[in-house]
């Protein structure tokens, strides 16, 4: 049985148009409803105002089974060794062409469902995807590949992309999308006997569960990201202007919701005060440029969900309680949506949660050091 669809009409200063998104599961080149009845759904929310957008159908373990079987069948019959690398490259280039032709619509869906500013999503996310597809298309006759798993609360762009996959002529079963939560669909994938490799981007705790499930099933290889608490280290002889610019971008880009966000910033004592002055100025500028992703000039958007907003705010409160100093931000922005001010903490100690754990939000912990040895 075919799944339903949802149409949204955008009427913004930066994009005007309509987008239709299927709300089901994309398995074997078709949109289908979950196998289990009654059908469960996942509510999708606009992070800019907290309002409900649409409910998508939630898959389960049996849907994962169908997707895996479809992928294996495709690999054995129309993809894999049956399809020369040069032909696969042509498919990828065709998909890149279609993404580029629909670049504004896909960027609008990112801004609408994820909260990224429209221009950034258009040039960075969608434009970057086009470049990456064309890059891998050129390597398609080599043994290379990449997999990207969208979050269960940000599915709109991926669901729209599935239609472009069909339009590109990529054989049914090569790409499948099963909406669902980690505890159901994720667990089914990690423990599936027919899946040969799993990658996971997320926390250390969940990563342990993924690895355990992989080992307990078919000993499939696992690649784990395990959260990022990435350091930026700036010495006295650095180009201060460039250091401030890139360190700020590293933590405040996409409201800090980046796996490689530079959330710990180590600055040598000789330029520490100047660095903080410059970074605070950028944070203040971003605070003034916070708002609707479709508004021209918006540079700082919302967190992706209420749960993520609450999580980041709990880290901010933890930093305050542990004695760190809020140099800038540290509070909600506005009255609606999941916006948090660009936040800078100083007087941070190594045993604080904001120093040790991934926050995945616009929160920087700045520490002063004197020598390269860390004293």
Residues with catalytic roles:
225
**Residue among 247, 242, 244 nearest 232 (CA):** 247
Tell me the C-alpha distance between 364 and 375, whole Å. Answer: 21
């Amino acid at each position: 049985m075919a799944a339903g669809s949802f149409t949204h009409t955008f009427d913004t200063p930066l994009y005007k148009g309509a987008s239709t998104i299927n709300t089901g599961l994309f398995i074997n080149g078709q949109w289908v409803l979950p196998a289990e009845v009654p059908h469960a759904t996942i509510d999708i929310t606009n992070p800019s105002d907290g309002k409900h957008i649409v409910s998508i159908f939630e898959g389960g373990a049996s849907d994962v089974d169908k997707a895996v079987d479809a992928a294996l069948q495709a690999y054995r019959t129309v993809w894999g060794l049956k399809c020369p690398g040069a032909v696969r490259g042509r498919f990828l280039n065709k998909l890149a062409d279609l993404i580029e032709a629909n670049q504004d619509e896909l960027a609008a869906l990112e801004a609408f469902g994820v909260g990224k500013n429209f221009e950034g999503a258009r040039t960075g996310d969608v434009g970057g995807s086009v470049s990456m597809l064309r890059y891998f298309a050129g390597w398609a006759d080599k043994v290379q590949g990449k997999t990207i798993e969208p979050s269960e609360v940000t599915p709109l762009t991926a669901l729209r992309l599935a239609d472009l996959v069909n339009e590109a002529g990529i054989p049914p079963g090569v790409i499948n999308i099963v909406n669902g939560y980690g505890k159901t669909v994720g667990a089914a994938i990690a423990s599936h006997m027919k899946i040969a490799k799993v990658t996971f981007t997320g926390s250390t705790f969940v990563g342990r569960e993924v690895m355990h499930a992989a080992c307990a099933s078919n000993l499939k290889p696992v690649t784990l990201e395990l959260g990022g608490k990435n350091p930026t280290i700036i010495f006295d002889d650095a180009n201060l202007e460039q250091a401030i610019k890139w360190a700020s971008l590293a933590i405040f880009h996409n409201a800090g919701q980046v796996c490689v966000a530079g959330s710990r910033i180590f600055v040598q004592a000789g330029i520490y005060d100047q660095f903080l002055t410059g970074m605070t100025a950028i944070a203040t500028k971003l605070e003034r440029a916070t708002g609707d992703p479709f508004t021209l000039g918006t540079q700082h958007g919302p967190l992706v969900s209420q749960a993520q907003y609450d999580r980041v705010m709990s880290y901010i409160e933890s930093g305050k309680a542990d004695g760190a100093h809020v140099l800038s931000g540290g509070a909600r922005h506005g009255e609606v949506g999941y916006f948090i001010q660009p936040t800078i903490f100083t007087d941070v100690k190594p045993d604080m949660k904001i120093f040790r754990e991934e926050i995945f939000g616009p929160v920087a912990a700045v520490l002063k050091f004197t020598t390269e040895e860390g004293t």
